[in-house]
Structure 1
Amino acid sequence: MKFTLSWLKSHLDTSASLDEILYALTDLGLEVEEVQNPEETLGRFTIGYITAAEKHPDADKLRVCTVQTDEGERQIICGAPNARAGIRVVVAKPGDYVPGTDTTIQVGKIRGIESQGMMCSGRELEVSDDHEGIIELPEDAQVGQRYIDYAGLNDPMIYIKVTPNRPDALGVRGIARDLAARGLGTLLPLDVVPVPGAFPCPVSVTLAPEVADKACPHFIGRVIRGVTNGPSPDWLQRRLIAIGLRPISTLVDITNLFTFDLNRPLHVFDAAKVQGGLVVRSAQEGESLLALDGKTYALRPGMTVIADDAGVESLGGVMGGEASGCSEATTEAFLEAAFFDPILTATTGRALRINSDARYRFERGIDPAFTADGIELATRMILDLCGGEASDVVVAGAAPDTTRAYRLDPARVVSLVGMEIPEADQRATLQALGFTLDGDMATPPSWRPDVLGEADLIEEVARIASLTKLVGKPLLRGDAGVPGTILTPMQVRERAARRMLAALGYNECVTYSFIDRASAELFGGGADACRIENPISSEMTHMRPDLLPGLLAAAARNQARGFADLALFEVGPAFHGGEPGEQHLQAAGLLVGASARATPSPAAARWISTMPRPMPRQFCPPSARLPRCRSPARRRAGGIRAARARWRLGPRYCVCSARCTRRCCVQWM
């Protein structure tokens, strides 16, 4: 969302500085993405007066001009066809940066004659697309005055990031409302005075049954005849240019202004091109539309369209059609203001790949109660800028009822946010944002579809009060009832096992708890109670009865890739049945190759001896072999021999498991 500072101040009476406004916007949740200050690019250009202009002796199209500036007379060579004596121009002096050409002016010679500056065109200053000649200013322009001050261009442009839940902030007035609630000024009232109709509206409007309930429940229109649709005034063009829009004509520019100013998308038809009445209906199979962007779109059944007797004239809430569009020859316009369903509008836009400012707002949800006021305000501006007279208003349907109320509990601010805000301040904040308060019940305004519960009320109060005022408070264990030790004995053992094995030089593995049936049977598993009903692959059909299958598979993968010396461990659950008590936490280690001959360093042994109990009582010696272990290790010895052949492990290996009872194995849990 882009807007200028002066545009914001047309809704907000404030004395706050630009920096204060920028800080407040971000603090309110309207993150400032960028600020473009014309002072930085146009502040050095001044107004000059050409006192003399003579033909260059060595160039037919160049003129040697004597220009009076704030620093005295300068000689400037210019090739513009309108460079002549007696006009006021915009002068760039040596050292000035010209944004339109990306150059810095220097004193230089052109065909042997020195030039001490430059006289600029609109394109060179990036204030317009005109490049046919230099800018000519009226006689009231004072020599030496800064051009941005004279032209009213000293107006910073602010670009904010609006989250999808804040459609009201897609209009400048919604942004001003938030700032006023924060205390940075006063929100100026909108003067909505209905325009009396001078004649019956010649264009009828009908809502088809399939759209009246949801797709387009409310449609308002009126004809304005006798308009003069020429270029819009300078103030309106400057606002649109500042936010990146191209001025087209007064009628179109007014609708674009209302889209960004009041978050009220509008559309104007050339009433002379409308055949019969307008009907809002669903598109039919085989229909198409030549839109205002010059592209033809094949419509799908179910898309909301506005049609006349000749066919589809507009896509509801998305884009108008070329056939009924306004031009400078338009003398009779039909002004439309309607409410279109957000979901259907978004679906139509995505299907046709049309991104428009109207769609962007309708799909997020505009104010359904502002439709009538919006058309009255737009009618008044059209009459002021284009002349003419307005017809009676035609209305089809009614605005959807969005009334809802939620209980405001002042004490909830402390429990949900942790801020102490007086009840009077909470109520004043909500009223400043447009909420209606009746006792302890708060009714959100129609332009806030995102407020859907008590927590949202608290969020609005805290947002306006500023979450930066939150002060960190220490959590007192005694007051909160938190015990001194928060780890269970098993968690302490698990942590100790990991630290001890890491200190011995093992690398931790995290393998899947799912293995294939054959591997599970090698280690005493494979029962139906541990079978997975919906396995993700044929190699993950059973819960593992031991950690060793995963470690052996990991060792095999590493050996296949040239890593022959390995020291791996894992701490995790093993499953021996379907009941909770049949799941055990194990720790297992695996040494392969040269790692099996290594001994722990003295430093590691000393560190292990200092760890708190419960701790492993025995460590696996380098020469240990599981086949020497007695029951229950003997049962798994055969599994390891089979696994050794299956995974093609080298001859030198050592395995430690928590369930072994010999000295060669670690007893963990």
Structure 2
Amino acid sequence: MKFTLSWLKDHLDTSAPVEEIAETLTDLGLEVESVTNPAERLRDFTIGLVLEAEKHPDADRLRVCKVETDQGVKQIICGAPNARAGIRVVVAHPGTYVPGIDTTIQVGKIRGIESHGMMCSEKEMELSEEHDGIIELPGEPPVGMRFVDWLAEHDPAKIDPVIEIAITPNRPDALGVRGIARDLAARGLGTLKPYEVKPVEGRFESPIKVQIDAALKEKGCPHFTGRLIRGVKNGPSPQWLQDRLKAIGLRPISALVDITNFFTYDVNRPLHVFDADIVKGNLRIHPAKGGEEIVALDEKTYRLEPGMMVISDDAGPESIAGIMGGAHSGVTEKTVNVFLESAWWDPVTIAATGRKLKINSDARYRFERGVDPEFTLPGLEAATRMILELCGGEPSDVVADGAPIDTDRAYRFDPERIERLVGMSIPAEVQRATLEALGFRLEGDMAHPPSWRPDIQGEADLVEEIARIASLTKLQGRVLARPEPGVARPILTPMQKRAAAARRQVAALGYNECVTYSFIDRPSAEMFGGGSDETMLENPISSEMSHMRPDLLPGLLQAAARNQARGFA
């Protein structure tokens, strides 16, 4: 899970430096795998002013430039088409490492003329894929100014630190930036900003309806929502959105697709958009009969097996439910009417389908771990609002089938017991504040977990939450109290004492003790009167240990045979 520092601060009001945030995340159980700070690789680049740009005598495409830098006027050979006098550029002096070309700049001759540095493009500095020319800085930034300082003032997204954390399968809520911010706020590293989703009023009735087959409402897809938005313009997404997606390794595609990807990482709410003009009739969520084929967005053809969940229109399958949409109804730059989907899919069914089809997608990764069922409709509303802001259009009424699953459950909250189990002093009011900050609802001595925490399944999980927020690094060793004063009495029974004495005596006489497994294979057990179904394990660790042994002799004979084969007998 990757996110940028500025993205985190959209949800968390904090002034903590990235180093402190990273350390705290690991302490909270969200292990930080890496922190990438672009400013580190750009710290040696400075701003220069091109004074002259003359044609190279031996190369038509090269310019011999005189550049004013913090180290005086330098001669730099440049092949960029926009190299000319009067522009402010980014200079790499000899000895500077340029990450985009994996090269350390040296003084050298190019077609017989010395070059003392390099003027860089955005691609050469790994700022973007732009490489048609060198960077031209607007205005008149001072010569010699560090380029990172200029970026911090004019384009901070370019040097936004990127944090990558490892998420364990039991923490699906941390697959969204907001969930991570919530943990940090509970620790006291800032204040969680409010996240309000206001419903968008529909202006017309959606011509596309949705229906969930009864077989899937119980287990599969209990809740499906959607709405049609007409008259959208699906162009490039705004620069801030592109910068965020690029920072976490995603390729910006179009405004509509980028918006759905944004919500996947922002609040752990996977979405999908259909080209409404391609959808024929209504959408039906149903189990596949088996044998249907669909070309997915990854341009691969998949054959569905019986029971796999699929979204179909009147013409056939349009999406592998909860995993990947179909290419046929995918949005393009020509799309003007879209149908936005937000649904909740059963984790077990999604995991099984994904494994069988060998599809790995962000949607599958999240649905098979569990997303917030109560955020299905709010997620649709939030995405609708962003689509209207960035793409325009007119929204329909929401169409829906089913309802969110009931996640309400409660576990006993006993501060004194929790303090004993954790092993350190945590005042009751601090424990209550911790749970409330994590989204728990407290009613008397019962704690109700939030809908986005499917991993909370008992009182032990309450202890864990309070302990990790309090920080287990604060634990101090304690001497365990004896139940009785004085020297501890022996705990071996007389039978155990006699057996131990017999073992020592027999070993002293030169014998070896043979300890064999209590389970053997069926044929061996049958040879000695065993092997019945009553003595068979339901889940043996191997076929050679499937049945309880009827006698010690089979195991002893097998041990003797193994020893003889190895030359020990």
Q: TM-score range by the shorter chain?
A: 0.7 to 0.9
Q: 1:452 to 1:56 in 2, by over 3 A?
A: same
Question: What is residue 312 of structure 2 aligned with on the other side?
Answer: 307
- The aligned counterpart of 2:259 is 254
**Contact 2:197/2:381 (CA < 8 Å) preserved in 1?**
yes
Matched, 1:37 2:37: yes
Q: How does 1:183-332 map to 2 (within 5 A)?
A: 183-332=188-337
- Counterpart Cα distance in 1 of 2:126 and 2:191: 34
Mean alpha-carbon deviation: is it higher for 369-378 or for 81-90? 81-90
Which residue pairs with 1:587 in the alignment?
Answer: none
- For residue 358 of structure 1, what is the aligned residue in structure 2? 363
Q: Distance in 2 between matches of 1:498 and 1:340?
A: 60
Give the gaps of 5 or more residues in structure 1: 517-527, 564-646, 648-669
Relative to structure 1, is the Cα distance of residues 296 and 515 closer, same or farther in structure 2, using a 3 angstrom cutoff? closer
Specify the structure having the higher radius of gyration (Cα). Answer: 1
Please say if residues 517 and 555 of structure 2, whose CA atoms lie closer than 8 Å, have aligned partners that are also in contact: no
Q: Distance in 1 between matches of 2:78 and 2:555?
A: 88
Within 2, Cα distance between the matches of 1:178 and 1:108? Answer: 53
Residue 70 of structure 1, CA deviation = 3.7
Match of 1:459 in 2: 464
Corresponding position of 2:516: 512
Cα distance in 1 for partners of 2:564, 2:321 equals 64
Give, as a single letter, the amino acid of the residue that structure 2 aligns with 1:294.
E
One-letter amino acid of the structure 2 residue matched with residue 379 of structure 1: T
Q: Deviations over 1:353-412 (max 9, x none)?
A: 000001000011100111111111111211222222222222222111111122211122
Encode CA deviations 1:417-452: one digit per residue, 9 max, x unaligned. 223222111111111111111111211111011111
Corresponding position of 1:146? 147
User: 3-state SS of the aligned residue for 1:124?
Assistant: coil
Distance 1:154 1:552, change over 3 A: closer
**Separation in 2, partners of 1:170, 1:98:** 33
The one-letter code matched in structure 2 to 1:175 is: I
Report the Cα offset of residue 498 of structure 1: 7.8
**Is the contact between residue 172 and residue 366 of structure 2 (CA under 8 Å) also seen in structure 1?**
yes
**Number of the residue aligned with 1:394:** 399
Distance 1:118 1:249 in 2: 34
Structure 2 unpaired stretches of 5+:
521-526, 536-543
Cα distance change, pair 480–132 in 1 and its aligned pair in 2 (3 A): farther
Output the CA distance in 2 between the equivalents of 1:87 and 1:274.
Answer: 52
Counterpart CA distance in 2 for 1:373 and 1:400 is 15
User: Structure 1, residues 483-532: CA drift from partner, whole Å, max 9, x if none?
Assistant: 2434556766777888899999x89775537999xxxxxxxxxxx9x865
Judged with a 3 Å threshold, the aligned counterparts in structure 2 of structure 1 residues 503 and 26 are, in CA distance, closer, same or farther, namely farther
Residue deviations 1:546-568 (CA, integer Å, cap 9, x gap): 99x8997677556x4xx7xxxxx
Q: What letter matches 1:236 in structure 2?
A: L
Amino acid at match of 1:151: D
Q: How does 1:156-195 map to 2 (within 5 A)?
A: 156-195=161-200
Q: Tell me how far 1:333 sits from its aligned partner.
A: 1.9
1:514/1:541 contact within 8 Å kept: no
Contact 1:291 1:319 in 2 (8 A): yes
Answer with 240-249 or 307-316: which moved more. 307-316
Distance 1:291 1:554, change over 3 A: closer
User: Following the alignment from structure 1 to structure 2, what is the Cα–Cα distance between the partners of residues 513 and 300?
Assistant: 42
| Counterpart residue type for residue 362 of structure 1 | F
- SS of alignment partner, residue 23 of structure 1: helix
Instruction: Tell me which residue corresponds to 2:19.
Output: 19
Residues 417, 246 of structure 1: CA spacing in aligned structure 2 closer, same or farther, 3 A cutoff? Answer: same
Contact preservation (8 Å) 2:56, 2:63: yes
1:451, 1:377 → 2: CA distance? 27
- Structure 1 distance, partners of 2:138, 2:18, is 31
Residue 3 of structure 2 corresponds to which residue in structure 1? 3
Contact 1:290 1:297 in 2 (8 A): yes
Query: Which of 55-64 and 478-487 deviates more?
Result: 478-487
1:31 CA drift (Å): 1.0
Query: What does the per-residue CA deviation read over 1:59-91, in whole Å, with 9 as the maximum and x for residues that have no partner?
Result: 122111223334443221112233333444332
Shift of 1:240: 0.9
Change (3 A) 1:183 1:56: same
Partner of 1:122, secondary structure, is: coil
- Structure 1 residues 116 and 221: alpha-carbon distance in aligned structure 2, compared to 1, 3 A threshold: same
What is the one-letter code of the residue matched to 1:192? V
Q: Flag the 1:208–1:113 CA change in 2: closer, same or farther, 3 A.
A: same
Q: Secondary structure at the match of 2:123?
A: helix
Q: After alignment, is 362-371 or 435-444 more displaced?
A: 435-444
Percent identity (aligned): 63
Per the TM alignment, residue 57 of structure 1 is displaced from its structure 2 partner at its CA by 0.7
Alignment-mate amino acid for residue 427 of structure 1: R
- 1:543 pairs, out of 536, 552, 555, with 552
Whether contact under 8 Å (1:240, 1:257) holds in the other structure is yes
Once residues 69 and 555 of structure 2 are traced to their aligned partners in structure 1, the CA distance between those partners, rounded to angstroms, is: 90
Q: For the Cα contact (< 8 Å) 1:413–1:420, is it kept in 2? A: no
- Coordinate RMSD, CA, aligned: 3.1
Distance 2:401 2:8 in 1: 34
**TM-score normalised over the length of structure 1:** 0.75
**Structure 2 residue 471 is matched with structure 1 residue 470:** no
Equivalent residue for 1:412? 417
Question: Which residue in the other structure is 1:403 paired with?
Answer: 408
Whether the aligned pair in 2 keeps the contact of 1:221 and 1:393 (CA below 8 Å) is yes
CA distance in 2 between counterparts of 1:109 and 1:267 reads: 55
| Alignment correspondent of 1:134 | 134
8 A contact 1:304–1:316 mirrored in 2:
yes
Contact 1:349 1:355 in 2 (8 A): yes
* Partner residue, 2:53: 53
Which amino acid is the alignment partner of residue 395 of structure 2?
A
Q: In structure 2, do the counterparts of structure 1 residues 554 and 456 end up closer, same or farther at CA, with 3 Å as the change threshold?
A: closer
Partner Cα distance (2:517, 2:297) in 1: 60
- Give the secondary structure class of the aligned counterpart of 2:61: coil
Aligned with 1:365: secondary structure?
coil
- Answer whether contact 1:511 1:550 (CA < 8 A) is retained: no
Verify the 8 A CA contact 2:261 2:270 in the aligned structure 1: yes
TM-score by length of 2: 0.88
Separation of aligned partners in 2, 1:198 and 1:106: 64
How much does 1:119 deviate? 1.9
Secondary structure in 2 matching 1:60: strand
Deviations 1:453-499 (A, max 9, x none): 22212221122111222221113446478724345567667778888
Q: Distance in 2 between matches of 1:339 and 1:183?
A: 32
For residues 405 and 77 of structure 1, the distance between their equivalents in structure 2, rounded to whole angstroms, comes to 71
Q: Give the secondary structure class of the aligned counterpart of 2:277.
A: helix
The answer to which structure, 1 or 2, has the higher relative contact order (CA under 8 A, 6+ apart) is 2
Equivalents in 2 of 1:264, 1:111: separation in Å? 56
